[in-house]
Amino acid sequence: MSATELTALLAFCAAMSFSPGPNTTLSTALAANRGIRHALRFCVAVPTGWTLMMLACGLGLGALVLGSPALRWAVKLGGIAYMVWLAWKLSGATQLAQVDAARMNITFWNGVGLQFVNIKAWMLALTVTAGWVVNAAGQPATNSGERLAIICLVMVVLLFTSCFMYALMGSLLRSFLARGRRLLWFNRILALVLLATAAWMAAV
Protein backbone atom coordinates (compact mmCIF):
# COMPACT_ATOMS: atom_id res chain seq x y z
CA MET A 1 0.00 0.00 0.00
CA SER A 2 1.48 3.34 -1.06
CA ALA A 3 1.98 6.26 1.30
CA THR A 4 -0.80 8.19 -0.46
CA GLU A 5 -3.25 5.33 -0.08
CA LEU A 6 -2.31 4.81 3.57
CA THR A 7 -2.72 8.52 4.36
CA ALA A 8 -6.16 8.57 2.74
CA LEU A 9 -7.10 5.39 4.60
CA LEU A 10 -6.02 6.84 7.96
CA ALA A 11 -7.90 10.10 7.38
CA PHE A 12 -11.11 8.36 6.33
CA CYS A 13 -11.04 5.72 9.08
CA ALA A 14 -10.17 8.26 11.80
CA ALA A 15 -13.08 10.48 10.77
CA MET A 16 -15.48 7.53 10.83
CA SER A 17 -14.12 6.12 14.09
CA PHE A 18 -14.09 9.31 16.17
CA SER A 19 -17.34 10.85 14.91
CA PRO A 20 -20.38 10.21 17.17
CA GLY A 21 -22.27 6.99 16.62
CA PRO A 22 -23.65 3.98 18.53
CA ASN A 23 -20.20 2.80 19.66
CA THR A 24 -19.01 6.14 21.02
CA THR A 25 -22.39 6.88 22.62
CA LEU A 26 -22.49 3.54 24.43
CA SER A 27 -18.85 3.85 25.52
CA THR A 28 -19.68 7.19 27.14
CA ALA A 29 -22.89 5.91 28.71
CA LEU A 30 -21.38 2.73 30.14
CA ALA A 31 -18.44 4.56 31.71
CA ALA A 32 -20.63 7.36 33.11
CA ASN A 33 -23.10 4.91 34.62
CA ARG A 34 -20.97 1.94 35.66
CA GLY A 35 -17.35 3.13 35.52
CA ILE A 36 -14.38 2.86 33.19
CA ARG A 37 -13.61 -0.77 34.08
CA HIS A 38 -17.07 -1.91 32.98
CA ALA A 39 -16.81 0.10 29.76
CA LEU A 40 -13.42 -1.41 28.86
CA ARG A 41 -14.89 -4.72 27.72
CA PHE A 42 -17.15 -2.83 25.32
CA CYS A 43 -14.14 -0.83 24.09
CA VAL A 44 -12.45 -4.15 23.27
CA ALA A 45 -15.62 -5.69 21.81
CA VAL A 46 -16.06 -2.93 19.22
CA PRO A 47 -12.79 -3.49 17.29
CA THR A 48 -13.20 -7.25 17.72
CA GLY A 49 -16.66 -7.23 16.15
CA TRP A 50 -15.69 -4.83 13.41
CA THR A 51 -12.61 -6.88 12.50
CA LEU A 52 -14.75 -10.03 12.24
CA MET A 53 -17.18 -8.14 10.01
CA MET A 54 -14.34 -6.75 7.89
CA LEU A 55 -12.88 -10.20 7.41
CA ALA A 56 -16.32 -11.48 6.43
CA CYS A 57 -16.68 -8.63 3.92
CA GLY A 58 -13.28 -9.47 2.49
CA LEU A 59 -14.46 -13.06 2.02
CA GLY A 60 -17.60 -12.01 0.16
CA LEU A 61 -20.25 -11.23 2.81
CA GLY A 62 -20.28 -7.55 1.83
CA ALA A 63 -21.09 -8.37 -1.79
CA LEU A 64 -23.82 -10.75 -0.61
CA VAL A 65 -25.44 -8.06 1.56
CA LEU A 66 -25.20 -5.44 -1.18
CA GLY A 67 -26.71 -7.83 -3.69
CA SER A 68 -29.65 -8.91 -1.55
CA PRO A 69 -32.35 -6.34 -0.69
CA ALA A 70 -33.76 -8.72 1.93
CA LEU A 71 -30.41 -8.93 3.75
CA ARG A 72 -29.94 -5.16 3.56
CA TRP A 73 -33.35 -4.62 5.12
CA ALA A 74 -32.67 -7.27 7.77
CA VAL A 75 -29.47 -5.49 8.82
CA LYS A 76 -31.19 -2.10 8.78
CA LEU A 77 -34.28 -3.19 10.75
CA GLY A 78 -32.19 -5.16 13.22
CA GLY A 79 -29.97 -2.15 13.81
CA ILE A 80 -32.92 0.22 14.26
CA ALA A 81 -34.62 -2.14 16.72
CA TYR A 82 -31.39 -2.55 18.71
CA MET A 83 -30.80 1.23 18.88
CA VAL A 84 -34.36 1.83 20.12
CA TRP A 85 -34.00 -0.93 22.72
CA LEU A 86 -30.70 0.49 23.96
CA ALA A 87 -32.21 3.99 24.16
CA TRP A 88 -35.09 2.64 26.26
CA LYS A 89 -32.72 0.77 28.58
CA LEU A 90 -30.54 3.84 29.01
CA SER A 91 -33.22 6.46 29.55
CA GLY A 92 -34.66 5.12 32.81
CA ALA A 93 -31.71 5.31 35.23
CA THR A 94 -31.89 8.34 37.52
CA GLN A 95 -29.11 7.57 40.02
CA LEU A 96 -25.84 5.68 39.84
CA ALA A 97 -27.13 3.25 42.45
CA GLN A 98 -30.02 2.31 40.14
CA VAL A 99 -27.80 1.42 37.20
CA ASP A 100 -27.79 -2.31 37.83
CA ALA A 101 -26.87 -5.23 35.64
CA ALA A 102 -30.45 -5.61 34.40
CA ARG A 103 -30.49 -2.11 32.91
CA MET A 104 -26.98 -1.45 31.60
CA ASN A 105 -25.52 -4.91 31.20
CA ILE A 106 -23.91 -4.63 27.76
CA THR A 107 -21.75 -7.74 27.53
CA PHE A 108 -18.65 -8.27 25.41
CA TRP A 109 -20.66 -10.33 22.92
CA ASN A 110 -23.39 -7.69 22.81
CA GLY A 111 -20.69 -5.24 21.74
CA VAL A 112 -19.38 -7.64 19.10
CA GLY A 113 -22.88 -8.32 17.77
CA LEU A 114 -23.72 -4.61 17.65
CA GLN A 115 -21.22 -4.14 14.82
CA PHE A 116 -23.21 -6.47 12.57
CA VAL A 117 -26.37 -4.34 12.91
CA ASN A 118 -24.57 -0.99 12.95
CA ILE A 119 -25.14 0.71 9.58
CA LYS A 120 -22.21 3.07 10.19
CA ALA A 121 -19.90 0.09 10.73
CA TRP A 122 -21.21 -1.59 7.56
CA MET A 123 -20.71 1.58 5.52
CA LEU A 124 -17.14 1.84 6.77
CA ALA A 125 -16.36 -1.82 6.11
CA LEU A 126 -17.89 -1.84 2.63
CA THR A 127 -16.25 1.44 1.62
CA VAL A 128 -12.84 0.30 2.82
CA THR A 129 -13.26 -3.07 1.09
CA ALA A 130 -14.12 -1.42 -2.22
CA GLY A 131 -11.55 1.38 -1.99
CA TRP A 132 -8.53 -0.24 -0.37
CA VAL A 133 -8.83 -4.05 -0.36
CA VAL A 134 -9.87 -4.96 -3.90
CA ASN A 135 -8.48 -1.80 -5.49
CA ALA A 136 -5.00 -0.27 -5.41
CA ALA A 137 -4.97 3.36 -6.59
CA GLY A 138 -7.70 2.64 -9.13
CA GLN A 139 -6.29 -0.70 -10.28
CA PRO A 140 -7.23 -4.23 -9.16
CA ALA A 141 -5.14 -5.11 -6.11
CA THR A 142 -2.75 -8.04 -6.32
CA ASN A 143 -2.16 -8.22 -2.54
CA SER A 144 -5.69 -8.10 -1.13
CA GLY A 145 -4.80 -10.27 1.88
CA GLU A 146 -1.97 -7.95 2.91
CA ARG A 147 -4.20 -4.91 2.46
CA LEU A 148 -6.95 -6.49 4.54
CA ALA A 149 -4.48 -7.20 7.36
CA ILE A 150 -3.21 -3.59 7.33
CA ILE A 151 -6.76 -2.22 7.42
CA CYS A 152 -7.78 -4.47 10.30
CA LEU A 153 -4.70 -3.43 12.30
CA VAL A 154 -5.38 0.26 11.65
CA MET A 155 -9.02 -0.06 12.62
CA VAL A 156 -8.35 -2.03 15.81
CA VAL A 157 -6.15 0.83 17.02
CA LEU A 158 -8.53 3.60 15.92
CA LEU A 159 -11.73 1.98 17.17
CA PHE A 160 -10.31 1.07 20.57
CA THR A 161 -8.79 4.55 20.97
CA SER A 162 -12.01 6.34 20.04
CA CYS A 163 -14.19 4.19 22.31
CA PHE A 164 -11.72 4.51 25.19
CA MET A 165 -11.53 8.29 24.83
CA TYR A 166 -15.32 8.60 24.91
CA ALA A 167 -15.45 6.19 27.86
CA LEU A 168 -12.82 8.22 29.69
CA MET A 169 -14.92 11.34 29.16
CA GLY A 170 -17.96 9.54 30.58
CA SER A 171 -15.96 8.29 33.56
CA LEU A 172 -14.72 11.78 34.38
CA LEU A 173 -18.34 12.94 34.58
CA ARG A 174 -19.39 10.37 37.20
CA SER A 175 -18.96 12.59 40.27
CA PHE A 176 -20.77 15.45 38.54
CA LEU A 177 -23.62 13.19 37.43
CA ALA A 178 -24.06 11.66 40.89
CA ARG A 179 -25.79 14.83 42.14
CA GLY A 180 -29.52 15.32 41.89
CA ARG A 181 -31.18 14.36 38.61
CA ARG A 182 -28.16 15.10 36.43
CA LEU A 183 -27.62 11.45 35.50
CA LEU A 184 -31.24 11.11 34.39
CA TRP A 185 -30.94 14.02 31.97
CA PHE A 186 -27.51 12.87 30.79
CA ASN A 187 -28.88 9.40 30.05
CA ARG A 188 -31.91 10.84 28.29
CA ILE A 189 -29.68 13.00 26.08
CA LEU A 190 -27.61 9.95 25.12
CA ALA A 191 -30.82 8.00 24.55
CA LEU A 192 -31.94 10.74 22.15
CA VAL A 193 -28.60 10.42 20.34
CA LEU A 194 -29.26 6.70 19.90
CA LEU A 195 -32.79 7.41 18.64
CA ALA A 196 -31.38 9.99 16.21
CA THR A 197 -28.93 7.33 15.02
CA ALA A 198 -31.86 4.92 14.53
CA ALA A 199 -33.69 7.58 12.49
CA TRP A 200 -30.58 8.14 10.35
CA MET A 201 -30.26 4.39 9.83
CA ALA A 202 -33.88 4.28 8.63
CA ALA A 203 -33.19 7.05 6.11
CA VAL A 204 -30.03 5.64 4.48
pLDDT at residue number 77: 78
pLDDT at residue number 130: 75
Q: Which domain holds residue 147?
A: 3-203
The domain tally of the chain equals 1
Q: Which of 134, 124, 125, 136 is nearest to 1 (CA)?
A: 136
Residues in the chain predicted with pLDDT less than 50, given as ranges, are 97-99, 101
- By CB neighbour count within 10 A (0-12 exposed, 13-18 middle, 19+ buried), where does 17 fall? buried
**DSSP assignments along 47-100, one per residue:** HHHHHHHHHHHHTTHHHHHHH-HHHHHHHHHHHHHHHHHHHHHHHT--SGGG--
pLDDT digits (tens, 9 = 90+) for 22-81: 888 889 888 888 888 889 999 999 999 999 988 888 777 666 666 677 766 777 777 778
